[in-house]
Amino acid sequence: KYSTGDDLLIRTLAIRSLVFPSATSTSYVEMIPQKPLSLKAFTLCMRVATELSGEREIILFAYRTQDFDELNVWRELDGRLSFYLSGDPVFFQVPGLGALQTRLCFTWDSSSGAAALFIDGRKSLIKIYRKGHTIRAGGRVLLGQDPDNYLGGFDAKQSFVGEISEVNLWDYVLSDTAVQDMMAVKITGGNVLDWETVELILNGAVVQINVNL
């Protein structure tokens, strides 16, 4: 759609955004993937804002099967960002998250083990992590909580508080140019999770709003 004002014509894009008002063990959103998460590579992107500070873990994304945390993304106690693939994490020392919207993209390729993080289009150094690993299908994708078991085990002290949107997941590594183009909203949604069309199941106090980009 378009908004007008004097001599200005601006194209606006409305998207869904999720607001998690407070720390709870009951507020979360389940995302229903378009295809099973059997992954030998991925690009996971999201737009995040949170004012939580201090020594507190924050779960940003969780994909868990019956017995394992297959793919979890965290802001750690010391402010680093990380992701876990069924074991020890890979860490990235980066500027802290805050009230301003931040675009995050995590990439990983099993064949080389190459893992990287983009923040607002700027790429981190590459780290080698979990070479030869496969993320297994059959789990649940959650925003807002870290499930310690398949159906729950949530801890309010690790819950997400803030706003999150544009969560997209691809089963391959996007090029650096494609990730940077995303800053200008030039790219389509993920082929595993597409924020524009994915089914979202809201629980607890989560509020869904529409925002114009």
Looking at residue 6, its pLDDT comes to 44
Q: How confident is the model at residue 55 (pLDDT cuts 50, 70, 90)?
A: confident
The pair phi, psi for residue 158, each rounded to 5°, is -115, 0
177 membership: H or E segment, kind and range: helix 176-182
Q: How confident is the model at residue 10 (pLDDT cuts 50, 70, 90)?
A: very low
Looking at residue 186, its pLDDT comes to 67
pLDDT in tens, 98-141: 999 999 999 999 999 999 999 999 999 999 999 999 999 999 99
pTM, rounded to two decimals: 0.92
Task: Please give the average per-residue pLDDT across 18-46, as a whole number.
Answer: 98
Looking at residue 13, its pLDDT comes to 74
Instruction: For each of the domains in the chain, give its residue range(s) and CATH number, in order of start.
Output: 17-212 (2.60.120.200)
d(CA 107, CA 43): 4
The mean pLDDT value of the chain amounts to: 92
Tell me the one-letter amino acid at 107. Answer: T
